[in-house]
């Protein structure tokens, strides 16, 4: 997931509410509760831990610099080095560190299961005290498990809705009610093409930045996806039908050309901000992107269009994770526990959410604090119908990577859809 900015008022309200909540003082629990009070004995041997963290926004490094300074003041025997890495590079960064046996102590990614499968990770109970784990949203903790055990903890989450340009819709004689279904989206795109010819009716970013997300939300709205009923289901008829639908939109000039090289942030979001896109799958942080770019477009949001027989609209729930790597003899365990517990203390976690932007929080208490935020409430409301990546499967990172690189090729005119899906499915074996 990528950058946004949360309104400061909401962040401050969250901080104040959490400060009185169950998270306060968690780091003082014993190791039986999942956290360690490392103390500050001057005779204790110094420990250094390294953290590789995702760059949600440019505010992340300053946030961590401040967090580390305060943590080290309270824990003088622990040194913490935080490297904030862009989403374009962090996946390869951590993979390379694992491959060269140069493990960080704490990682922050949108998957973890392959590391858990190799026996490299501490459990969630090792990372955080029981009170903090109990405050985590149950769905997010379930998506932090590998073979029934949580080996990571969610740092935050996101959901998706369908965005549309109201001025373009008005010019084409369209309303929100016209884009409830896939048939409606196609008809709306055709009207936009006919009446507002200088814009892209539907942005379809299937470039490598987040093609795995764009594909999943379309596929799941057709009862497809990567993983269903306890098994990989990549070559399903529903997925083929999904790609045939998208392929038809591309062939008829109802989307941007060459979706396989068209990314979300610098492609779909940028053009939408310029008023050149009619509709798109929009992330929770798109409004902040528009604000940052000085966009004055008139837009609204709607449920994601569905092709399900029962008419159910779904959303894509995406969460990222913190996880701790074991070292030889697990000598870093106490320091990892202490730092993770400190990060999830009430004020510190509120600061993390503020620095990362307007994502959904991972804790129930934070969610309650933010539910009155009109900008976030629609996303919180659709979470019961959220679908998630199969992050508990050890081969998911390989499937994700192949999807990012190849799924866009499947919507090109005349492309062999099944061949692309089979290539992706081979990574799940």
Q: What is the mean pLDDT of residues 90-102?
A: 96
Residue-wise pLDDT tens digits, 251-294: 999 999 999 999 999 999 999 999 999 999 998 889 988 998 99
283 DSSP β-pair partners: 160
For residues 222 and 228, what is the distance between their CA atoms, to the nearest angstrom?
13
For residues 282 and 288, what is the distance between their CA atoms, to the nearest angstrom?
11
Q: Are 162 and 303 in contact (CB under 8 A)?
A: yes
Query: What is the per-residue pLDDT for 160?
Result: 93
Strands 106-109 and 47-54: parallel
* pLDDT greater than 80 at residue 23: no
For residues 426 and 209, what is the distance between their CA atoms, to the nearest angstrom?
21
Query: What is the per-residue pLDDT for 39?
Result: 42
82 DSSP β-pair partners: 51
Strands 231-232 and 227-228: antiparallel
Q: Which ranges of 55-210 would DSSP assign to H, the alpha helix?
A: 60-74, 90-99, 113-117, 124-127, 130-134, 138-142, 166-172, 182-195
Q: How many other C-beta atoms lie within 10 A of the C-beta of residue 10?
A: 20
Q: What is the mean pLDDT of the chain?
A: 88
Residue with the larger pLDDT of the pair 81 and 197: 81
Q: What is the mean pLDDT of residues 123-145?
A: 91
Q: Are 25 and 342 in contact (CB under 8 A)?
A: no
Residue carrying the six token digits 């009619």: 278
Q: For the chain, what percent of residues have pLDDT higher than 70?
A: 90
Query: What is the per-residue pLDDT for 1?
Result: 56
Query: What is the per-residue pLDDT for 363?
Result: 85
Reported as a pLDDT band with limits 50, 70 and 90, residue 370 is confident
Highest average pLDDT, of 37-41, 290-294, 391-395, 410-414, comes from 410-414
Reported as a pLDDT band with limits 50, 70 and 90, residue 44 is low
Map residue 53 onto helix, strand or coil: strand
Residue-wise pLDDT tens digits, 182-201: 999 999 999 999 999 899 99
Residue-wise pLDDT tens digits, 126-136: 999 999 999 99
Structure tokens, 429 = 């074996």
Q: Which ranges of 123-264 would DSSP assign to H, the alpha helix?
A: 124-127, 130-134, 138-142, 166-172, 182-195, 211-220, 237-251
Radius of gyration for the alpha carbons in the chain, expressed in angstroms and rounded: 22
């Amino acid at each position: 997931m990528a950058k946004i900015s949360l309104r400061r008022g909401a962040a401050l309200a969250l901080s104040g509410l959490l400060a009185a909540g169950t998270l306060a003082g968690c780091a003082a629990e014993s190791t039986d509760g999942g956290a360690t009070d490392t103390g500050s004995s001057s005779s204790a041997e110094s420990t250094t831990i390294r953290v590789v963290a995702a760059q949600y926004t440019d505010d992340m490094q300053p946030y961590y610099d401040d967090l580390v300074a305060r943590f080290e003041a309270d824990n003088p025997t622990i040194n913490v080095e935080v490297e904030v890495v862009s989403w374009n590079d962090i996946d390869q960064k951590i993979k390379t560190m694992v491959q060269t046996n140069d493990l960080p102590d704490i990682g922050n990614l949108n998957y973890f299961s392959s590391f858990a499968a190799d026996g490299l990770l501490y459990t969630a109970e090792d990372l955080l005290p029981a009170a903090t784990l109990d405050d985590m949203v149950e769905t997010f903790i379930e998506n932090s498990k590998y073979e029934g055990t949580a080996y990571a903890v969610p740092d935050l989450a996101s959901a998706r809705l369908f965005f549309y340009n109201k001025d373009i819709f008005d010019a084409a004689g369209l309303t929100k009610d016209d884009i409830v279904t896939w048939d409606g989206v196609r008809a709306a795109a055709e009207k936009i093409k006919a009446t507002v010819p200088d814009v892209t009716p539907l942005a379809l970013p299937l470039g490598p930045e987040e093609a795995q997300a764009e594909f999943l939300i379309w596929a799941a709205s057709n009862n497809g996806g990567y993983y269903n009923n306890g098994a990989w289901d990549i070559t399903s008829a529903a997925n083929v039908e999904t790609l045939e639908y998208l392929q038809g939109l591309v062939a008829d000039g109802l989307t941007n050309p060459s979706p396989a090289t068209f990314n979300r942030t610098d492609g779909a979001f940028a053009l939408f901000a310029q008023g050149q896109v009619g509709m798109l799958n929009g992330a929770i942080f798109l409004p902040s992107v528009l604000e940052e770019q000085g966009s004055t477009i008139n837009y609204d949001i709607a449920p994601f269009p569905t092709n399900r027989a029962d008419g159910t609209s779904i959303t894509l729930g995406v969460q990222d994770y913190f996880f701790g790597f074991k070292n030889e003899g697990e000598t870093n365990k106490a320091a990892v526990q202490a730092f993770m517990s400190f990060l999830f203390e009430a004020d510190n976690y509120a600061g993390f959410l503020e620095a990362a932007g307007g994502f959904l929080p991972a804790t129930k208490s934070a969610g309650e604090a933010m539910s009155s935020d009109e900008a976030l409430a629609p996303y919180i409301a659709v979470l019961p119908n959220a679908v998630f990546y199969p992050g508990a499967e050890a081969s998911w990172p390989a499937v994700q990577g192949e999807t990012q690189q190849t799924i866009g090729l499947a919507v090109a005119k005349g492309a062999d859809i099944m061949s692309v899906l089979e290539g992706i499915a081979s990574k799940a074996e």
